[in-house]
Structure 1
Amino acid sequence: MRGLILFAHGARDPLWARPFERVAARCRDLMPGRPVTLSFLEFMSPELADAGASMVAQGCTEVDVLPLFLGAGGHVRKDLPVMMAALREAHPAVQWHLQRAAGESDVLVEALAQVALQLLATGVEASA
């Protein structure tokens, strides 16, 4: 079974996580029966190691880790590969796949451009 970990930065304010929780819920809706979890670099839980252990406990033999970052800064380029190496060492029977940062996706770039264009056209926040 193939699982998905959505990896976000985390924040001290619990309200910060709401959009990411919505993304995780939408993924679960679109992929029923497939394990999907949200994990965080700091300030929130679960951390990546715990999310990975949960995927293994659910029977995943392959897990994709999608960084929910707009760009591939230091956390994505430096910190996350170290965390992925730890997952591989802790769970060698599982194939761990680190994906590009979500912000590098043409789909997300287009969505953000559409939000900006809608704001300019209406003067109203797109999700209001």
Structure 2
Amino acid sequence: MTAPALIALAHGSRDPRSAETITALTESVACMRPDLRIEPAFLELSEPSFDDVVDRLVAEGHDEIVVVPLLISDAYHASVDVPDVVETAQRRHDGVKIAITKVLGVEQAFFHVLDRRLREALSKNRIRELDALVLAGAGSSDPVANAAIARAARAWGARHKLPTIAAFASSAPPAAGEAVRTHRADGRRHIAVGMLFLAPGFLSDRVTELALEAGSVAVAEPLGVDSVVAEVILARYAVGAVELVPLEAVFS
């Protein structure tokens, strides 16, 4: 029995660095599980599209697919866009089973990646001292999604015993520059910024620009290609694959 195929579904971006990073991340997942058929896909703005990947997999004979949304926040894209494209694909391919897993979210393990990216930024800028942090996410009109980033900021700050403010690249205040200035108003001068983005793009560039203008001493890169992120993708896949198993097979 062939295991379900895995589609790692990202949002997409006009910035080619985004698709390059997602593709490389997907390749790292495939290296961990060479027995699986694993493909990247994008909701919009990047190639290949979700429809194209599904059509290709079905043409190859795959009739079970697990979709892992490569999203940090469980907001509009997760609740509307992803189910919509999956429903459309299922209408085109009668008999094909497609399971959607929960988004990547903010896993505890991601703090290890955040720390690694922070150390890289501090080393690059020859910074030895910090007295405050900012953790930036994409931002959403959904307050629940923003609250998840705020919780992550508190947890990351507690991990380093440093005051930490959550910032957002769009849709919600404060922006990264505002967060840095708030720390500076409190007398902090050695402020670094971490990013809860999977890949570089316009939003991450905006965070960097605003943070540096406001006086941040270092801005870390997005999570990017990392074995920890790859392992979370595979963990999501494992749950989705189980959901495709008929109940009678489980209890027989």
- TM class by shorter-chain length? 0.7 to 0.9
Q: Once the two structures are superposed, what CA deviation does each residue of 1:76-126 show, in whole Å capped at 9, x if it has no partner?
A: 10111111111111112211000111125x3xx422x12333436x83358
1:32 to 31, 34, 45: 34
Offset at residue 23 of structure 1 (A)? 1.6
Q: Aligned partners of 1:101, 1:116: CA distance in 2, in Å? A: 18
Query: Partner residue of 1:116?
Result: 114
AA matched with 2:8: L
SS in 2 for 1:64: strand
CA contact (8 A) 1:3 1:36 kept: yes
Across the aligned residues of Structure 1 and Structure 2, the Cα RMSD in angstroms comes to 2.3
Q: Radius of gyration: which is bigger?
A: 2
SS in 2 for 1:25: helix
* 1:45-56 mapped onto 2 (5 Å cutoff): 45-56=47-58
Offset at residue 13 of structure 1 (A)? 1.4
Aligned residues: 123
Q: Tell me the TM-score normalized by structure 1.
A: 0.83
Q: Is 1:67 aligned with 2:69?
A: yes
Q: Which piece of structure 1 moves more, 64-73 or 16-25?
A: 16-25
Q: Tell me the TM-score normalized by structure 2.
A: 0.45
Listed as ranges, the gaps of 5+ residues in structure 1 are none
AA matched with 2:5: G
Listed as ranges, the gaps of 5+ residues in structure 2 are 124-219, 224-252
Q: Aligned partners of 1:91, 1:30: CA distance in 2, in Å? A: 29
Q: Which piece of structure 1 moves more, 13-22 or 46-55?
A: 13-22
Query: Partner residue of 1:92?
Result: 94
2:19 to 5, 17, 37: 17
